[in-house]
Amino acid sequence: MAIENCSRCGVQLVVPQDAQTIRCAVCQAITRVHSYYPLAQARESATRFTSGLISMVSSNISGMTGSVSSSSYPVPGYGGYYAQPPIRPVLQLPLPSMHGRKRALLCGVSYRGKSYKIKGSINDVKCMRYFLVEKFGFPNDSILMLTDETNPLKIPTKENIRLALRWLVQGCQPGDSLVFHFSGHGSKQLDYDMDEVDGFDETLCPLDYETRGMIVDDEINATIVRPLPQGATLHAIIDACYSQTVLDLPFVCRMNREGYYTWEDQTRSPYKGTSGGLAFCISACDDNQTSVDTTALAGNASTGALTYCFIQAVQNEPGLTYGRLLNSMRQVIRGAKTGGLRLNGPIAALVNKALFNTEITQEPQLSSSETFDIYAKQFIL
């Protein structure tokens, strides 16, 4: 017998001998058994032996010198698992108290020092925080912001983002309005659960994704979508590549350039909807597109195209519908090519809005836990 962690909910599963896959009794996800493969078994044995040897040597050194000096080195494991420390110290994430009817989680990952660093992601979450407080009355102490810029206790590691997602929905009640904003890299990987129409799981890349792995859409759905109760609303604004179905919501809105739309049913087994609440995801692009980090929409300040055009659309047209929101956001992006659109109002002072020519091809997308008339339903946070 062997032990495996469920690929979706993390529950430990007892694996029968020679089994290649196993279905979780809790969430019904199918997990590939890593220990089935001889190479994985050899690696696991070697890792256990090495760990024991290091522990024994450290103990002996401690006895001789009265101190212990130890370090962990990368040990690659099968399927992207690593036995090594995170790139930052492991610290306890200080979570705000649950406050009132509005709550927001804002994650901006810049990947500083990496070849794939992003310049605009921290600007994005700063703008979004300001916007939520000033425009929609979110209390400052009900907003949790994770960035790799300042406070080492609030860096967007995989574990911190997971904890923050659980905080976002903890104790959620009817009438609550929740916002999840992510600005950073997105990616995709092969879908082994057979619950994706295109055969790929969409993912978000935390700061330490190279060593700790990405956050998969299945987990995001199980954490913040499935528990959403009747009367509660979740809006996710995802400024990342391959992000249209990163919440795994059942329905995707397909809109053409003239504004005509249809709802596409993404429903597969198991059920990926809410527990009665409403969930919406406004994403930077389709699952097969990449998003941009640009100065074209904010003068000299880099911002994500989605974040910028979302703020401008909502600010410039109070009481707009979801249909108008999508159309307005797309017009902002298209208008950046000619410099014909400018942002007015208090948010302008925050990010120095001055448009000029660029080439931006992404199209903001909408997905939802249920279908509705997007030109009749008002957008409210």
Active site residues: 185, 241
- Helix ranges (H only) for 76-115 are none
Residue 271 DSSP one-character state: P
Report the C-alpha gap between 333 and 327 in whole angstroms: 10
Token pair in block for residue 381 = 């946070």
Nearest to 98 by CA among 161, 147, 144, 155: 144
Report the C-alpha gap between 302 and 304 in whole angstroms: 7
Inter-residue contact 360 to 341 (CB < 8 Å): no
Inter-residue contact 140 to 126 (CB < 8 Å): no
Q: Kindly state the helix (H) or strand (E) to which residue 179 belongs, with its residue range.
A: strand 177-183
Inter-residue contact 200 to 287 (CB < 8 Å): yes
Nearest to 30 by CA among 47, 13, 42, 49: 13
Report the C-alpha gap between 51 and 264 in whole angstroms: 50
Question: Which residues, in sequence order, are CB contacts of 7 under 8 Å at separation 6+?
Answer: 29, 30, 31, 32, 192, 193, 216, 218
Q: Is 308 exposed, middle or buried (0-12, 13-18, 19+ CB in 10 A)?
A: buried
Inter-residue contact 278 to 233 (CB < 8 Å): yes
Report the C-alpha gap between 273 and 111 in whole angstroms: 32
Type of residue found at 218? D
Using alpha carbons, list the distances in angstroms from residue 1 to 19, 36, 99: 9, 11, 46
Inter-residue contact 249 to 238 (CB < 8 Å): no
Give SS3 for 336.
Answer: coil
